Structure 1
Amino acid sequence: MKFIIFFIYVPFVYSVFFSELHSFITTYTGIHGMTAAGIPEFSAVTSLDGQQIDYYDSITMELIPKQPWMQEFASKDMWKEDTDIRQYVQLVYKNNIDVLMERFSQSHGVHTYQRRYGCVWDAKTEESHGFDEYAYDGEDFISLGVKERRYTESVLQAKPTVQKWSDNTAQLGSLKRYYDHECVYWLIYFLKLRKAGFKRRGPEVSLLQKLPSSPVKCHATGFYPSKKSAILYVPLDDWKKNQYACVVEHKTETIQTILTDDEIKSNNRTTKAYSKTLCVMGVLIVIVLVICALVQRKRKQRRKFNLVPSDSDEALYIDKGL
C-alpha cells in the first residue's frame, strides 16, 4: 500500500525591499603593539544587515568574500580595486596611530584606531542616512555630520585633524556624494546579489531521526527568504507500513529527492530504518516577488549623476591621513 501525504507550504509574499531597514557598514581597525601575538595590525570588515560579507587583514593581504553569494562579485575587476584600497588604508592607519601616539604623549603600549562608516536605508520610505565615526583606544575621536558636511572633535587632540579635513573641500564633496547616493546604491546592489544567491541555491531535503524509536522527520530548508523551513513528521508505525516520497517544488524547478533508509541522519548512526521506503513531503511552493521600481529609480539617478565611483573618488572618501 502506498500512502502519500500531500503537504503544501505557501509563505506570505515577500521582497527584500519591503518594509525593512537595511544597513551597509564598513569598519577599519588599526592596532599597535599586538603583532607579536599574531593579531593583524590592520583589518577591514564590510557587513550587510549585520552579516559579514567580506574581510581583509594585513597578514593575508587579501580581500576574502565571506558569503557564498559574494563569489560572483569577487570575480569582478572591482574586487582587485577594493583590495588595493584596503592595502592603501592599511598604510594610512599605521602612520595615523604613530601620529596619535605622539599627540597623546604615548611611547609604547597597545593602541587602536578605528573608523566605522556606512548608511542605513528604509526601503519603504526610500529615506537613508549616513554616518562616519572615528575612535582612538575605544573612545570617540572624530565624527562627521553627514548632512552638514562638518567634522566634530570629541577630544582636544583631534582639533588639528578636524581643521585639516574641514579645509579639504574636494574630500567633503566626495563624501557628500557617497552618502547621498553611492552608499545606498551599493547597499541595494548587494541586497540583490544576496537574494539571487539564495534563489540559485534552492531547497535541501533530508531525513532526520533523533533516536531509533523517534518519528522520522522529512526536513526541507534553504529557501529564500531565509529562516523558513517546512517539516513533516512521520510516525514510526506509518513509516513501517507505508511508502513515502519527498518532493519539493521551488519557483524555478521541481526537486524530487528519493531518500532511502540509509540516508536517515540519526544520533545512532548504526541503526537502519525499517523497510525500503520513500519519505513523502508534498509540494512546497515559495513565492518571491521583487519590487523593481525602487532599483530602477536608483539606476536612473546613477545615470543622471554618474554616481559609480572611480578610483580617484574612492581615494578621497575611503580614508585619509591625520
Structure 2
Amino acid sequence: MEGCILLVLGIGLLHTASAVTHSLKYFYTASSEVPNFPEFVVVGMVDDVQMVHYDSNSQRAVPKQDWMNKRTDTQYWERETGNFLGSQQTFKIDINTLKQRFNQSGGVHTWMRMYGCEWDEDTRVTEGFDQFGYDGEDFVAFDLKTKTWIAPTPQAVITKHKWDRNMGFNENMNNYLTQTCIDWLKKYLDYGKSTLMRTVPPLVSLLQKTPSSPVTCHATGFYPSGVMVFWQKDGQEQHEDMENGETLHNIDGTFQKSVHLTVTPDKWKNNKYQCVVQVTGIKEDFIKVLTESEIQTNWGKTNRGANDPNTTGSALIIGVVVALLAVVAVVVGVVIWKKKSKKGFLPTSTSDTDSDNSGKGVQKT
C-alpha cells in the first residue's frame, strides 16, 4: 500500500527557464484500512509550499507557514475547520459507496481530490482544475469548457450523470476555479511574498559515482522551482545520452534538480562539455565546465565543503525523503492532472474554502 500511496535547444534558440507560474492547490485524501495514517487528510499549497493542513485525527485546520498565521484570524481557521470536517464526512460516505460500486468488500482503498488554479505572472493566463481519483486511477474530472464532468471509467458514469444534473453547483464550480481561486492565490502570494516571491541562486556540482558512471549535474538550493538544467557540447545543447531528473523539494523549502550525461572520458576531455542552469527570475546563467578538477567523486576525492559529494549526496537524500513525505501527505502522485484554461478574476471576502460562497464544495458520489 505504501507503494500505491507514493505513487512535471540548439544554437540560435533562446534557452531560458520557464516564466513564473503561480499555483494554489488543494489535495483531499480519504483512505480505508491504512495503518498509522489518518482516514482523511487535507493539504493546501501555494507555489508547492504547504500552508494549510487538516486531518481526521486532530480535526483542526492549522497554518503551516508563519505568514499564514500572521495574516489570518480565528474566524478564518474556524471556517476552514468546519468546511474540511464536512468534506471528511462526505468522503467517508463516498469511499464506502465506491467500494460497493467496484465490488470490493475490505482492504486498503483511497479516494482523492485534487483541485485549484494557476496564474502566469507574465501572460496573465489562468487555469483551473478539479479531479478525483480512486485507488490511484482517474475517476472523474471537471471540464471547464462544457461545465460538465468527464468519466473515464464505467463505474464513474453514475457519478457523472448525478453531478451533471446539478447545474447550479457546476456553475459555481466554474466561477470558483476561474475567478475566486485566482483571487485567493494572489492574496496568499501577498501574504507570503517575502518567502514566495524571493529568488535564490543554485549551488551547482558535477558528480560521478565511478569513472564509468554518467556525470550528474546537480543544482540545489534554488528558488523558485522553475528551472532549466541542460548539458552543452561545444556550445550546442545535448539531446542524446541525457536523463533528466525530477525537480525535488529540499528540507529548507528550496529545490533541487539533476541531469545525467553519459559520456566517455575521451569525449569530454577532447570537447567542451558544460552544464547550464537557469532559474526563473534570475537573469544570470550558472555554468559548470566538465573538467577533471570539477568532478566530485566517490573515489579518491578528499575535498570537503559545499561541493563535497557526501554533503551533496546527503542533500539529495534529504530532498528525496522530503518529496516522498509530501507525496504521502497528499497522495497525489498516482493522479494524472487534466487542466483546462479559463481567464477571470473577481474579488471575494470569504474563506478560500468556504463552500457557501466559493462554489467549490463537494458532492456525494
TM-score (norm 2): 0.52
Distance in 2, matches of 1:158 and 1:185, equals 31
Alignment of 1:1-322 (within 5 A): 19-34=19-34, 37-195=35-193, 301-302=346-347, 311-314=355-358, 316-322=359-365
Would the aligned equivalents of 2:189 and 2:196 in 1 still touch at CA under 8 Å?
no
Deviation at 1:197, TM superposition (A): 6.7
The CA distance in 2 between the partners of 1:198 and 1:157, in whole Å, is 41
Shift of residue 157, structure 1, vs aligned partner: 0.4
Looking at structure 2, the residues matched to 317 and 175 of structure 1 have their Cα atoms a distance apart, in angstroms, of 5
Q: CA deviation at 1:121?
A: 0.5
Instruction: Tell me the distance in 2 between the aligned counterparts of 1:110 and 1:62.
Output: 25
Query: What amino acid sits opposite 1:317 in the alignment?
Result: K
Q: Distance in 1 between matches of 2:59 and 2:148?
A: 33
Distance 1:173 1:44, change over 3 A: same
On the 8 A contact 2:119/2:126 being kept in 1, the answer is: yes
- Give me the TM-score of the superposition, normalised by structure 1: 0.59
The answer for unaligned runs of 5 or more in structure 2 is 1-17, 198-223, 225-252, 255-343
Task: Report the CA distance between 1:302 and its aligned residue.
Answer: 2.4
Q: 1:92 to 1:307 in 2, by over 3 A?
A: closer
Unaligned runs of 5+ in 1: 1-17, 200-223, 228-297
Equivalent-residue separation in structure 1 for 2:145 and 2:196 (angstroms): 35
Please state how far the C-alpha of 1:198 moved relative to its aligned partner.
8.0
Q: Contact (CA 8 Å) 1:28, 1:45: kept in 2 or not?
A: yes
Deviation of the 1:51 alpha carbon: 1.0
Query: Between Structure 1 and Structure 2, whose CA radius of gyration is higher?
Result: 1
Q: Cα RMSD between the aligned structures? A: 3.1
For 1:118 and 1:19, the matched residues in 2 are separated by: 19
Deviation at residue 307 of structure 1 after TM alignment: 8.8
SS in structure 2 of the partner of residue 40 of structure 1: coil
For residues 88 and 307 of structure 1, do their structure 2 counterparts lie closer, same or farther at Cα, with a shift above 3 Å needed? closer
Distance 1:53 1:154 in 2: 32
Deviation at 1:176, TM superposition (A): 1.2
Deviations 1:234-279 (A, max 9, x none): xxxxxxxxxxxxxxxxxxxxxxxxxxxxxxxxxxxxxxxxxxxxxx
Q: Deviations over 1:204-240 (max 9, x none)?
A: xxxxxxxxxxxxxxxxxxxx9x97xxxxxxxxxxxxx
> Secondary structure of 1:96's partner?
helix
Asked whether the equivalents of residues 182 and 307 of structure 1 are also in contact (C-alpha less than 8 Å), the reply is no
* C-alpha deviation, 1:313, in angstroms: 3.0
Deviation, structure 1 residue 170: 1.0
Change (3 A) 1:198 1:191: closer
CA distance in 1, matches of 2:110, 2:351: 32
Q: Residue type of the partner of 2:66? A: P
> What SS does the corresponding residue of 2:347 show, helix, strand or coil?
helix
Q: Which whole-Å CA distance do the structure 2 matches of 1:118 and 1:109 have between them? A: 30
| Bigger mean CA offset, 92-101 vs 140-149 | 140-149
Residues in 1 aligned to 2:196 and 2:137: alpha-carbon distance in whole angstroms: 39
Please tell me whether the aligned partners of residues 46 and 185 of structure 2 are also in contact (alpha carbons under 8 angstroms).
Answer: yes
Q: 1:308 to 1:173 in 2, by over 3 A?
A: farther
SS in 1 for 2:23: strand
1:197 and 1:52 mapped to 2: Cα distance? 12
SS at match of 1:318: coil
Instruction: Tell me the distance in 1 between the aligned counterparts of 2:156 and 2:137.
Output: 12
Quick one: structure 1 residues 185 and 31, their matched pair in 2 at CA, closer, same or farther if it must change by over 3 Å? same
How many residue pairs get aligned? The number is: 209
Cα pair 1:302 1:308 within 8 Å, conserved: no
